[in-house]
Structure 1
Amino acid sequence: MTSLQLQETLKKRIEQALSGMLLSSQEGESKEIQVFKQHLPRKTKSTSRNPGNTFYPCVIVYLDEGENGKVKVLLIVATHDEETDNQGYQDAMNIVEKIMQDLGRNPQVDGRYEIQEEPKWFYNEQDNYPYYFAWIETSFEIPRSLREDVEAMI
């Protein structure tokens, strides 16, 4: 089991947990939350001719670091809200809450990856209007490979 398999499985789990949740998008319409692995896709040259080529709201499943069968994962939440009341942070926090509840109900992912540390959330307090960012930090244990030379030592 690799970190990349954890990332793919976690992506699917988050998509399922957020399914049906509609939020404000850059197109000015409500749309479902997209989930990406590691980075946002590259934009095409003109989003004005192709307004469907926008990514917000989204969650990015980011592999941050790993050691000794433990992988630190960041779930980066990004939303877009052009309302002037500056309350778009609520969309980001609603996504965070939904993911935190899902992980709390079932801290094992795909029956193979166990959460090692209680997930923590953070909110980006910088003013990035009309974009709002938050993230969840957690660590998972991934199954480790067995050493081949151990059998010879016995």
Structure 2
Amino acid sequence: MTKKEFLDDFAEDLKVVLQDVYTKNTIGEEVGVTVYKNRLPVVTEDEEDESQYFPYAIARLSDASTDEEKPWQQRVYVLLGVYDDDLKGGGYLHILTMMERITNRYLQEPLLNHKYRAEPKMSTDIQDEDTYPYYFGAVEMTFNIPKLERRDEFS
């Protein structure tokens, strides 16, 4: 297994987990969450700005470690962003819903694609600053990823 394969599988699974979460984009249309790997697309001269990518979920790999006869422990972050100009703070609730969907999915069914297993220890965070009408949150998880073992005991 490679980390790229894991990231691809994880991002595809996030699309399913968040498929029925709809919020407004910056022009007021109801849209679903778009899942990106690693970061948002780069803004080019022809495009306005990064606000066009809201709502989003970014699947990002962080550090990984392993030990003899143990799988890789791969830390992942899911960075969440929502635009909501509702004066009552609806964007905050959208972020909470997205975090809950993600954590519940992997707590209830920790196995991903019959290859990777989520650890039960997870954490979530919501941005402290008021960035109205933009809302941000994050989920941190660790997955066990199979690794190649030594071919023989004398290697």
Counterpart residue number, 1:146: 149
Q: What displacement does 1:112 show?
A: 0.7
Residues 89-132 of structure 1 show CA distances to partners (whole Å, capped at 9, x for unaligned) of 11111111111221122101111111124222111111222211
2:69 is matched with none
Relative to the length of structure 1, the TM-score reads: 0.88
Secondary structure of 1:28's counterpart equals: coil
The answer for the alignment partner of 1:25 in structure 2 is 25
What corresponds to 1:45 in structure 2? 45
Query: Percent identity over the alignment?
Result: 22
Q: RMSD between aligned alpha carbons?
A: 1.9
SS at match of 2:53: coil
Structure 1 range deviating more: 89-98 or 110-119: 110-119
Residue 36 (structure 1) aligned with residue 39 (structure 2): no
* Number of residues of Structure 1 aligned to a counterpart in Structure 2: 149
2: distance between equivalents of 1:64 and 1:126? Answer: 24
1:80·1:131 contact (CA, 8 Å) conserved in 2?
A: yes
- Note if 1:101 corresponds to 2:104: yes
Asked if 1:11 corresponds to 2:14, the answer is no
- Name the structure 1 match of 2:125: 122
Dislocated runs of 4+, deviation >6 Å: none
2:62 paired residue among 64, 68, 72: 64
Q: Are 2:84 and 2:91, in contact at CA under 8 Å, matched by a contact in 1?
A: yes
Contact map agreement 2:107 2:120 (CA 8 A) in 1: no
Match of 1:137 among 132, 137, 140: 140
Per the TM alignment, residue 149 of structure 1 is displaced from its structure 2 partner at its CA by 4.2
**Structure 1 residue 46: Cα displacement:** 4.3
